[in-house]
Amino acid sequence: MKIKETSEFSLIHSLTKKIRAAGSGSVLVGIGDDAAAFRMGNGKNLLITCDMLVEGRHFLRDKITPRQLGCKALAVSLSDIAAMGGVPRFAVVSAGWTPELEVEYAQEVYRGMGELADEFQVSIIGGDTVSAPQVILDVAVIGEMDGAPVTRAGAKPGDAIAVTGSLGASAAGLALLREEEAAANLSEKARQALLRAHLEPYPRVKEAGMLLKYGPPSAMIDISDGLAGDLYHICESSGVGALLEVSRLPVSESVKQAAATLGSSFLDWVLYGGEDYELLMTIPPGCVAGVKKAVEMLGTNLSVIGKVLHKREGIKILSKKGAAFELEPRGFDHFAAFK
Amino acid sequence: MKIKETSEFSLIHSLTKKIRAAGSGSVLVGIGDDAAAFRMGNGKNLLITCDMLVEGRHFLRDKITPRQLGCKALAVSLSDIAAMGGVPRFAVVSAGWTPELEVEYAQEVYRGMGELADEFQVSIIGGDTVSAPQVILDVAVIGEMDGAPVTRAGAKPGDAIAVTGSLGASAAGLALLREEEAAANLSEKARQALLRAHLEPYPRVKEAGMLLKYGPPSAMIDISDGLAGDLYHICESSGVGALLEVSRLPVSESVKQAAATLGSSFLDWVLYGGEDYELLMTIPPGCVAGVKKAVEMLGTNLSVIGKVLHKREGIKILSKKGAAFELEPRGFDHFAAFK
């Protein structure tokens, strides 16, 4: 079977099934969550995650500035650490550069990465620099936390499903990059906001700190595959069902305007678009008010968008008119998207 | 200036000079050594390193089996941890696969990686899997150690310069891959040994453990750029000079045979070939005998090949006939090699 005939998740499973069994005693979370976690023996737990961006697959050099690219390459890994409830501390960067590239381009990538690292007090402490046929960035981030990592596996029936910020803006931004002519009909302000959401995702690290302090959530994931796909990851890991309510999904006016302008469905972007890098979580009912208040002290909305059901009840979405549908289990398959 | 007009080391310097200044308080070793190190606060120090291998740049798919590739991708990072004196514990793997690749290829890569990981009790705990135009493997390894990491910066005049194993075999293996016809004149045993040295480097993790216990060395590095280049790294970081003796360099009969067969200079391979992944170290004079005995208990030779001089004395090599030459400061520039 060829790589293109498999899915990202079944490939990962087939590659790592033997490794999963081997995990050592100090490993708290192995392959298959947003980040791995291991015990340090002093009450602290460390987290580690890595994300690779390949030119032509994850970005086009003429659509993203090098500063934005550096920023995004780090942001996606910071987001994974946040999704476990951790505080990012250190990063190492493997970079592949094409021989014909201007050195200034690489410097701008590092400038973008350095700015975001400074903002979150993350130290870039090492890496590797190689020659490659296209630009490649792989950032590994180490985070730490005192308590237990928040995995995808703790959701319980009755928990509220909540999400930070708003959804669909990154997918809208990607659509605008692909259809530049149509995009010209959109207000400049909306266009800028959506492009920024796609090109400069902002990891919810501070929000994760508040969530841990005033929660913690029973399960959490960052939205990289789209709300539907990532909700499925939580439901599968936790052995639960879920009900989402369309009327409660946080969607900005800019996203709605862009969908209208491009003749697209904003709900499609929200559910299946991916790369929002918002935190999707489940919260025990008694904690919802406190958690919401804490996150909103940071100026970030926290929206309750549904609730966790028993597994036998399935994974559903309630339309604005009150009809319940099975939620399609597809997510944005980063792997399939470029086959 | 274009990437191809710079060197690996000046590029790294220009990208990271701002980052170097920013290092946080718990960072013990930042960018510029074999691995970075930071304090965990419980007396333990953690190490992290990453190495990226890109098809067509670092390997050719028809010259290395996928099992060997997986093994090598992990080995080079384990070697970096060993070079700091650490014990490797965890790894995360970012992998790029081409859509047309057979899934079995990727599985074999993971099998090779898994076998080496098991041998050194390293847990592969996470990673990223993406689609790419060629096979890409980036492995980040976390190691730990109780004491201070052994950097490149501690060599003192009077210290002995020593190296594990033997040198030049990987470069000889690479030459054999490039000149298959000439290689046919070599004995099968020698050919196999040299190819294995290049395709399946074995990290000196156990030796590093002994070195720390019975030493520690005053400075250490793993030989990835060639003896000359890596000795220069130690001399520059430590502010010292050095004298190597050709007659004391450990070179196997297979390497000498291959050089004779291919009409190459084995000394060139030893000094400038790279990818030996042996440990090059400096040892205070009083410790040499004990360290040598300890390492040799593992069945690995430790050869004293020269001594550390004052900086003003330069970096020299003594020929078999007793003439001293300035050692050329070039190393195997992985970056320039494929321009």
What CATH code is carried by the domain that includes residue A311?
3.90.650.10
- Is there a domain that residue A15 lies in? yes
How far, in Å, CA of B2 to CA of A166, rounded?
41
Q: Find chain B residues with C-beta within 8 A of A66's C-beta.
A: none
The pLDDT of residue B185: 85
Residue A73 per-residue DSSP state: H
Percent of chain B with pLDDT over 70: 96
Residues A133, A21, single domain; the answer is yes
Q: Is the pLDDT of residue A339 over 50?
A: no
Name which of B207, B225, B214, B174 is nearest B34 in CA terms: B225
How far, in Å, CA of A312 to CA of A240, rounded?
8
The pLDDT of residue B337: 44
- Is there a domain that residue A35 lies in? yes
- Is there a domain that residue A152 lies in? no
What average pLDDT does the segment B138-151 reach?
Answer: 95
Residues B321, B216, single domain; the answer is yes
- Which of A2, A44, A98 comes nearest B99 by C-beta? A2
A145, A176, A206 - which closes a domain: A145
B85, B117, B145 - which closes a domain: B145
Q: Identify the weakest region by mean pLDDT among A104-113, A319-328, B215-224.
A: A319-328
Q: Is the pLDDT of residue B234 over 90?
A: yes
What average pLDDT does the segment A299-319 reach?
Answer: 97
- Is there a domain that residue A150 lies in? no
How far, in Å, CA of B234 to CA of B170, rounded?
21
Residues B134, B208, single domain; the answer is no
CB distance A102–B3 less than 8 Å? yes
Residues A113, A252, single domain; the answer is no
**Beta partners for residue B307, in sequence order:** B160, B243
What average pLDDT does the segment B156-168 reach?
Answer: 98
Residues A49, A74, single domain; the answer is yes
Name which of B149, B141, B124, B255 is nearest B196 in CA terms: B255
Q: Give the number of domains in chain A.
A: 2
Residues A243, A199, single domain; the answer is yes
Q: Is the pLDDT of residue B280 over 60?
A: yes
Q: Is the pLDDT of residue B333 over 80?
A: no
What CATH code is carried by the domain that includes residue B66?
3.30.1330.10
Confidence bin at B331 (pLDDT 50/70/90) = low
The pLDDT of residue A248: 97
Whether the CB-CB separation of A226 and A294 falls below 8 Å is answered with no
Residues B104, B7, single domain; the answer is yes
Q: Is the pLDDT of residue A77 over 80?
A: yes
Which residue did the predictor score with more confidence, B296 or B8? B296
Whether the CB-CB separation of A173 and A295 falls below 8 Å is answered with no
CB distance A19–B110 less than 8 Å? yes
CB distance B103–A11 less than 8 Å? yes
CB distance A54–B92 less than 8 Å? no
* Residues listed for chain B: 339
**Tens-place pLDDT, residues B26-73:** 899 988 889 999 988 777 899 999 999 999 999 999 999 999 999 999
How far, in Å, CA of A36 to CA of A77, rounded?
12
The pLDDT of residue B14: 82
Q: Is the pLDDT of residue A36 over 90?
A: yes
CB distance B106–A11 less than 8 Å? yes
Which residue did the predictor score with more confidence, B274 or B96? B96
The pLDDT of residue A332: 60
Average pLDDT taken over every residue of chain A: 92
What average pLDDT does the segment A265-291 reach?
Answer: 95
Percent of chain A with pLDDT over 90: 81
What average pLDDT does the segment B114-136 reach?
Answer: 95
- Is there a domain that residue A151 lies in? no
Residues B140, B165, single domain; the answer is no
Q: Find chain B residues with C-beta within 8 A of A107's C-beta.
A: 14-15
Residue-number span of the structural domain to which A265 is assigned: 160-338
How far, in Å, CA of A120 to CA of A50, rounded?
17
CB distance A12–B129 less than 8 Å? yes
The pLDDT of residue B90: 95
- Is there a domain that residue B151 lies in? no
Which residue did the predictor score with more confidence, B335 or B99? B99
Q: Find chain B residues with C-beta within 8 A of A58's C-beta.
A: 130
Which residue did the predictor score with more confidence, B262 or A41? B262
Residue A2: strand, helix, or coil = strand
How far, in Å, CA of A129 to CA of B30, rounded?
15
Name which of A68, A53, A54 is nearest A133 in CA terms: A54
Percent of chain A with pLDDT over 70: 96
Q: Is the pLDDT of residue B320 over 50?
A: yes
CB distance A3–B129 less than 8 Å? no
Name which of A164, A284, A307, A219 is nearest A29 in CA terms: A219
Q: Is the pLDDT of residue B25 over 80?
A: no
Confidence bin at B7 (pLDDT 50/70/90) = confident
Residues B140, B180, single domain; the answer is no
- Is there a domain that residue B152 lies in? no
What average pLDDT does the segment A257-276 reach?
Answer: 94
**Beta partners for residue B219, in sequence order:** B282
The pLDDT of residue A121: 94
Q: Is the pLDDT of residue B290 over 90?
A: yes
Residues B64, B140, single domain; the answer is yes
A85, A118, A145 - which closes a domain: A145
- Which of B6, B22, B48 comes nearest A92 by C-beta? B48
The pLDDT of residue A338: 38
Confidence bin at A337 (pLDDT 50/70/90) = very low
- Is there a domain that residue B155 lies in? no
Residues B226, B289, single domain; the answer is yes
- Which of A36, A114, A133 comes nearest B126 by C-beta? A36
Q: Find chain B residues with C-beta within 8 A of A6's C-beta.
A: 103
Q: Is the pLDDT of residue A21 over 80?
A: no
Residues A98, A195, single domain; the answer is no
How far, in Å, CA of A282 to CA of B68, rounded?
43
The size of the A-B interface in CB pairs under 8 A is 278
What average pLDDT does the segment A254-264 reach?
Answer: 94
**Tens-place pLDDT, residues A194-209:** 999 999 999 999 999 9
Helix (H) or strand (E) holding B48: strand B45-54
- Which of B44, B100, B130 comes nearest A2 by C-beta? B100
Q: Find chain A residues with C-beta within 8 A of B41's C-beta.
A: 42, 44
CB distance B123–A94 less than 8 Å? no
Name which of A144, A141, A37, A128 is nearest A91 in CA terms: A141
